[in-house]
Chain A
Amino acid sequence: MAHLLEFRNVTKTYTRGYFAEAGTTALQDFSMVLDEDSPTIMTVAGESGSGKTTLAMLLLGFIEPSKGQILYRGTNIKNLRGEERMTFRREVQAVFQDPFAVFNPFYTVDHLLTVPIERFKLAKSKADARNKMEEALSSVGLRPEDILGRFPHQLSGGQRQRINVARALLLKPKVLVADEPVSMVDASLRANILESLRGLHRDHGVSIVYITHDLTTAYHVANSIVVLYKGGVMEAGDVETVIQKPEHPYTKLLIDSIPWPDLDRRWGSDGMMVKEADGSDKGAKGCRFMGRCPHAIDACAVGVPPLYRVGPTQVASCVLHSTKPVLPAVQLTDVLPV
Chain B
Amino acid sequence: MSAILQVRDLQVSYYTDLGRATALNRVNLDLQAGEKLGLVGESGSGKSTMALAMMRMIKAPGRIESGSVDIDGVDLMKLTDEEMRLARLSRIAYIPQGAMNSLNPVLRIGAQMMDAIHAHVPDMPKEAMIQRAKDSLESVDLKRNVFDMYPHELSGGMKQRVCIAIGILLKPKVIIADEPTSALDVVTQRQVMETIDRVQKEIGTAVILIGHDMGLMAQFVDKVAVMYAGRLTEVSAVRDMFTSPMHPYAQALIKSLPNLKNKGVFSGIPGLAPSLLRIPSGCAFHPRCTQAMESCKTIVPEVKDHSGRLVACHLYTEGA
Contact = CB atoms under 8 A, between A and B. Distances in A.
A267 B214 contact: no
Contacts of A215: 186
Contacts of B42: 186, 188-189
- Among the interface residues B190, B242, B268, which one has the most CB atoms of the partner chain A within 10 A? B268
A219 B263 contact: yes
- Among the interface residues A221, A254, A274, which one has the most CB atoms of the partner chain B within 10 A? A274
Given A188-B42, A259-B213, A47 B267 contact: no
B213 A216 contact: no
B292 to A, nearest CB: 18
A192 B266 CA distance: 8
A189 B268 contact: yes
A101 interface: no
B258 A220 contact: yes
Contacts of A262: 218, 242, 259
A219 B43 contact: no
A192 B193 CA distance: 29
Contacts of A276: 191
A294 interface: no
Interface in B156-201: 156, 185-191, 193-194
Contacts of A192: 266, 268
A157 interface: yes
Contacts of B243: 263
B268 A257 contact: no
Nearest to A277: B155
Contacts of B259: 260-262
A187 B266 contact: no
Nearest to B157: A276
Given A253-B187, A258-B215, A263-B239, A220 B264 contact: yes
Contacts of B190: 257, 259, 267-268, 274
A221 B265 CA distance: 9
A131 interface: no
B260 A274 contact: no
A322 interface: no
A244 B260 contact: yes
A48 B267 CA distance: 29
Interface string A196-229: 0010000000000000011111011100000000
Nearest to A274: B191
A217 B187 contact: no
B4 interface: no
Contact of B218 (A48, A244, A263): A263
Interface residues of B, number: 43
**From DSSP, what is the main secondary structure of chain A's interface residues?**
helix
A188 B239 contact: no
A274 B258 contact: no
B256 interface: yes
A21 B298 CA distance: 70
B189 A47 contact: no
B266 A195 contact: yes
A254 B216 CA distance: 15
Contacts of A48: 156, 185
B315 interface: no
Given A48-B185, A156-B272, A187-B256, A259 B266 contact: no
B268 A261 contact: no
B140 to A, nearest CB: 12
B212 interface: yes
A190 B42 CA distance: 11
Nearest to B188: A47
A260 B218 contact: yes
A47 B190 CA distance: 13
B253 A188 contact: yes
Interface string B48-60: 0000000000000
Contact of B260 (A157, A190, A243, A263): A243
Contacts of A135: none
B269 interface: yes
Interface string A260-287: 1111001110000010110000000000
18 contacts: A48-B156, A157-B43, A188-B256, A188-B268, A189-B42, A195-B266, A219-B258, A240-B263, A243-B260, A259-B193, A259-B215, A259-B216, A259-B219, A261-B214, A261-B215, A262-B218, A263-B243, A276-B191
Interface of B: 42-43, 155-156, 185-191, 193-194, 212-220, 238-239, 242-243, 252-254, 256-260, 263-269, 272-273
Interface of A: 47-48, 156-159, 186-192, 194-195, 198, 213-217, 219-221, 240, 243-244, 253-254, 257-263, 266-268, 274, 276-277
Please name the 6 residue pairs, one residue from A and one from B, whose CB atoms are nearest each other, closest first.
A191-B268, A259-B215, A191-B266, A47-B185, A261-B215, A257-B190
Given A188-B252, A258-B215, A267-B190, 7 more contacts: A47-B187, A186-B43, A189-B268, A259-B215, A259-B218, A262-B242, A263-B242
